[in-house]
């Protein structure tokens, strides 16, 4: 086991529950930002820098440019009474 892997194992199985929870919440937020399922294996791979080996939970779906912009709303109208001239 590498030093980085040992460090992850120590923090994942920390005896102090608040430190363990803090580390797991950090990993959970990092993985959620990348849309990756949170579990020990994925967190360990992320910690060790093997992000390429993890498959995202929901792969990003690219839509054609026309489809992205065809349903746009018009800009909002001003609120309140009309301006005096």
**41 or 59: which carries more pLDDT confidence?**
41
Number of separate domains in the chain: 1
**Cα distance between residue 74 and residue 48, in whole Å:** 47
**Residue 74 maps to a domain:** no
pLDDT at residue 23 greater than cutoff 80? yes
Residue 38: domain span: 3-58
pTM: 0.60
pLDDT at residue 82 greater than cutoff 70? yes
Could you tell me which residues come within 8 angstroms of residue 8 by beta carbon, excluding any fewer than 6 positions away? 43, 44, 47, 48
pLDDT tier for residue 83 given thresholds of 50, 70 and 90: confident
C-alpha distances (whole Å) from 11 to each of 54, 55, 74 are 21, 24, 51
């Amino acid at each position: 086991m590498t030093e980085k892997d040992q460090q992850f194992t120590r923090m994942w199985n920390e005896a102090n529950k608040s430190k363990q929870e803090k580390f797991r919440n950090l990993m959970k937020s990092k993985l959620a930002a990348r849309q990756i399922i949170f579990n020990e294996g994925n967190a360990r791979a992320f910690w060790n820098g093997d992000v390429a080996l993890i498959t995202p939970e929901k792969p990003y779906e690219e839509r054609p440019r026309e489809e992205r912009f065809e349903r746009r709303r018009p800009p909002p109208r001003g609120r309140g009474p009309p301006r005096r001239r």
